[in-house]
Amino acid sequence: MQSRRSFLAGLAASSVTPLRGWASVGAPDYLAAALFPDGRYRLAGLSTGGEILFSLPLPARGHAAAAHPIRAQAVAFARRPGTFALVIDCATGTELGRLTAPNGRHFYGHGVFSPDGARLFTTENDYEAGEGVIGIWDAADYKRLGEFPSGGVGPHDMRLMPDGQTLVIANGGIETHPDMGRTKLNLPTMQPRLSYLDLNGTVLEQVELPQAQHKNSIRHLAVRQDGLVAFAMQWQGDKTQHPPLLGLHRRGEAPHLLSAPEAEQSSLQGYAGSVAFSGEGETVAITCPRGNALHQYSTADDQLVAAHPLEDVCGLGPGAMGFVFTTGTGFVGALSSGVQISARSDCQWDNHLIPIRTTG
C-alpha cells in the first residue's frame, strides 16, 4: 500500500495538494502582508476576487509567508534582516509559536514546507561567515532540527520543485550583516546563482549568470509544473544600464534572460519585485513597483506580450487564466486579456502574494 508520505508528495507534484484545514477559514487562495490604517501590520488571507477572508496581527512589517500544505497554518516572515517568523493558526487567529533565528543568523523573508508538511525550510544568513544557509524546522512543534548551506550568498526566495524532492534557491549574491541594516557589503564581487538542492542539502546543480550580469541579484522565483523556473532580479550596478530583470531556467540547460524594448525596460529602474507564471502557464510576468509596471512575456518565444502601467504594483500570483496582483495603494486585480480591478482595501499591500494552492 502506498505510504501517506509518498501519496502527499505525489499530490504536491501534481498540484492537487489537499486543503482540508484551509476550508475552515473560507479556503483563501492567497496570503499577503499589509499595513493597515491603525498602523498595524497584518497577514491576510485573500480570495482571487480580493476579498479579505481573515487578517491577523504581526509584530512588525512582514514580507512573505509559507502556507502549510494541509493545516490552516501560515508562517509569516519578517522583512530582511528580521529574526522572527510567526506561526499562525488561521482558523482561530491565534499565535501557535514563533521561530527565532539562532545566534549568528537572520531570516531572509521566505520559507517553504516539505510536501508532507512535516518540515519547514527557511532561507537564512550566516552573517559572520557571509554565507547562506537553509534552516530546517519540525513543523509539528516548530523546533529547529538543523541547517545546511544554501549553495551561495544571500539566499532570498526558495521554492519546491514539482518532483517534491528538490529545492530551488535564489542566492542573490549580496552579503549583509544585521549591524549594518540593509547595507550591501560586497557589490563589486557579488555572484548570484540558482542552486538546486535535495531536501537533505546535497547540491544537485548550480547556475550562474554571465559575468556582465554579476550585479543582477536573483531575488524571487516561480516554478511551472513542468519544472521551468522563472527568476526575478534586482540590478545593483550602474543605474544608466537597463539589464534584463527576468530569467528562465530549465535544469541541465543554460539560463536565458528576457527583456523589454529599451523604452519600456529603462523605466523599470532596475528593480523587479515579484514573478509568477500565469494559471495556464503560457505567460510569465514580473512586477516593477519602482517603475509602476507589470511586464508580461510569452514562455513560447520569450517576447514581451504587454507592459501594463500599474501604480506601486508588487504582489503577483497565478490566476485561473492569467494573474492576480496587489498594489501598495490597496488594489487587488486580475490580468488575463486585460487589467481588471477586483477590489480595493483600506491597506497597503506589501511585496508578495503567496498562493496557497499551486495553480501555475
Identify residue 182 by its one-letter amino acid code: R
List, in sequence order, every beta strand (DSSP E) within 68-150.
73-78, 84-89, 94-100, 105-113, 119-126, 131-138, 143-149
Instruction: Report how far residue 255's alpha carbon sits from residue 30's, in angstroms, rounded to the nearest whole number.
Output: 29
**Rg of the chain over all Cα atoms, to the nearest angstrom:** 19
pTM of the model: 0.90
**CATH 2.130.10.10, applies to 4-355:** yes
Predicted confidence (pLDDT) per residue in 110-128, tens digit? 999 999 999 999 999 998 8
Q: What pLDDT sits at residue 357?
A: 66
Instruction: Give residue limits of the domains in the chain.
Output: 4-355
Q: Do residues 213 and 207 lie in contact, with contact meaning Cβ atoms separated by under 8 Å?
A: no
Predicted confidence (pLDDT) per residue in 181-215, tens digit? 777 878 888 999 999 999 999 999 999 999 999 99
Whether 17 shows a pLDDT value over 50: the answer reads no
- pLDDT confidence bin for 8, thresholds 50/70/90: very low
User: What are the C-alpha distances in Å from 249 to residues 119, 171, 186, 228, 315?
Assistant: 26, 14, 25, 6, 22
CB atoms within 10 A of CB 215: 24
Average pLDDT, stretch 224-240?
Answer: 96
88, three cell numbers? 499562525
Phi, psi values for residue 212, rounded to 5°: -65, -15
Instruction: Report how far residue 153's alpha carbon sits from residue 6's, in angstroms, rounded to the nearest whole number.
Output: 32
| Cα diameter, the chain | 61
